[in-house]
C-alpha cells in the first residue's frame, strides 16, 4: 500500500493489524472514537483500560504532553513513554486518566503512519490476557476478519516495549 493510500485509509477510520519494532499491533486513528471503541471490542478489552498511541512527531508530543524525560533517548525505539497530558480530557476515549502512553516505533510502517499527522492506536493484537503475536499466523481468524488491513512483514523480535514512567525503565 502506498503512503498516500495508507494515510487516506487511516483518516477514513480503517483498522489495521501492523508490525511495530517489537510485536504485531492493532491500530487506527486515535482521534476517531468510534474506531478506537471497535478496537476495544475486537480485543474484548475493558473500555476503561488505557491504550497507547504512536505519536505523529516529537513536536506533537511536546504540544500535548508534559515531557519529563529526554524523548530523543527513547524515541524512535522499543519504548512506551507514560507522560502526563497537558489537558486531562485530551483523547479521553484512549486514556481516561491524566496520562498517555506514547510510542514511536523504529520501523518503516510506523514511519509511514506518522505521515498521517494524527496519533495512531498501538496495542497488541491479541485478546486481553492472550499471548502476543510475533507473526500474523499467531493472530486468531476471529480478530483478522474484523480488521480492514493486515500488514505482514514476517516474524518480529517478540519483546514488548519497555515502559518509561517518571524517567524509570520498566521491562515487561
Check pLDDT > 80 for residue 172.
no
Angstrom CA distances, 65 to 27, 68, 85, 87, 133, stand at 21, 9, 4, 8, 30
pLDDT in tens, 52-79: 999 999 999 999 999 999 999 999 999 9
Q: What are the chain's domains?
A: 3-170 (3.90.870.10)
Is the pLDDT higher at 157 or at 32?
32
In the structure, what pLDDT confidence band is assigned to residue 159 with cuts at 50, 70 and 90?
confident
pTM of the model: 0.95
| CB 16, CB 106: distance < 8 Å | no
pLDDT in tens, 24-50: 999 999 999 999 999 999 998 888 999
**Residue whose cell numbers read 503475536:** 133
Q: How far apart, in whole angstroms, are the C-alpha atoms of residue 56 and residue 35?
A: 18
Using a 10 angstrom Cβ sphere, with 0-12 exposed, 13-18 middle and 19 or more buried, the burial of residue 11 is middle
User: What average pLDDT score do residues 142-154 get?
Assistant: 96
In the structure, what pLDDT confidence band is assigned to residue 163 with cuts at 50, 70 and 90?
very high
Amino acid at each position: 500500500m502506498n503512503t498516500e493510500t495508507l494515510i487516506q485509509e487511516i483518516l477514513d477510520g480503517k483498522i489495521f493489524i501492523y508490525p511495530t519494532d517489537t510485536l504485531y499491533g492493532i491500530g487506527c486513528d486515535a482521534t476517531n472514537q468510534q474506531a478506537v471503541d471497535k478496537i476495544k471490542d475486537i480485543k474484548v478489552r475493558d473500555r476503561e483500560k488505557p491504550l497507547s498511541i504512536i505519536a505523529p512527531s516529537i513536536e506533537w508530543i511536546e504540544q500535548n504532553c508534559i515531557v519529563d524525560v529526554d524523548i530523543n533517548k527513547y524515541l524512535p525505539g522499543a519504548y512506551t513513554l507514560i507522560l502526563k497530558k497537558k489537558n486531562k480530557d485530551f483523547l479521553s476515549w484512549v486514556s481516561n486518566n491524566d496520562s498517555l502512553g506514547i510510542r514511536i516505533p523504529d520501523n518503516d510502517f510506523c514511519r509511514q503512519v506518522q505521515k498521517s499527522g494524527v496519533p495512531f492506536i498501538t496495542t497488541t493484537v491479541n485478546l486481553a490476557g492472550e499471548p502476543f503475536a510475533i507473526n500474523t499466523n499467531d493472530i486468531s481468524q476471529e480478530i483478522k476478519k474484523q480488521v480492514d488491513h493486515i500488514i505482514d512483514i514476517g516474524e518480529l523480535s517478540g519483546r514488548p516495549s519497555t515502559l518509561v514512567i517518571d524517567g524509570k525503565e520498566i521491562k515487561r
